[in-house]
Amino acid sequence: MHVIYVEPDYPSVRREKLTVWCALWAGGIIGPYFFKNDEGHNVTVNGDRYRAMITNFFIPELNNHDVQELWFQQDGATCHTANATMDYLKDTFGDRLISRFGPVNWSPRSCDFTPLDYFLWSYVKSLVYADKPQTLDHLEDNIRRVIADIRPQMLENVIENWTSRLDYIRASRGSLMPEIIFKM
């Protein structure tokens, strides 16, 4: 989940934001999903909205793909780790849940390990702001376009890089990582 802003040309204009979520694996991306209320207005994310997205968007989309041995990984955001959310995710993914308070505990300061953070959001932002979107609709269209244009080979390279990072972490017993260059 990531918050992306419209950056107006005029500093006196208030920044507007979208909250967007995606899932990523070597074979594709599910999303983007934009958090909106029933009237279509952008909203912040809470546990109820996050669970609704997982239940009504992610799981049905996931069922449309042939993903074997799925592990679900998320960060420790409060909406992700609310008791009802964690109960639902544990029921859904069992021991294949990587999350704060999950069966496999994910380090709270580990953004360099997550492909969504070190690849997807950086890559998306580098392209969606190229034409300086001035409205949320324009920004949302750019996000959809950029994500749709990401090719499977790029995702395979991302996951290969991620497994190399994990191998390094295991071998070094969690010590600091030297500069790792991302390869696409």
pLDDT digits 0-9 by tens, 134-165 = 888 999 999 999 999 999 899 888 888 877 87
Q: Is the pLDDT of residue 80 over 60?
A: yes
Long-range contacts of 79-88 (CB under 8 A, 24+ apart): 79/1, 79/45, 79/46, 79/47, 79/49, 79/50, 80/1, 80/50, 82/46, 82/47, 82/50, 82/51, 84/47, 84/51, 85/47, 85/50, 85/51, 85/54, 88/51, 88/54, 88/55
pLDDT digits 0-9 by tens, 90-107 = 999 999 888 888 888 776
pLDDT digits 0-9 by tens, 114-142 = 787 778 888 888 898 898 888 889 999 99
Least confident of 57-61, 80-84, 115-119, 174-178: 174-178
pLDDT digits 0-9 by tens, 11-68 = 444 577 889 999 988 888 999 999 999 999 999 999 999 999 999 999 999 988 877 7
CA 19 to each of CA 70, 75, 83, 166: distance values in angstroms, whole numbers, following the listed order:
25, 15, 22, 28
Report which of residues 89 and 14 the model is more confident about. Answer: 89
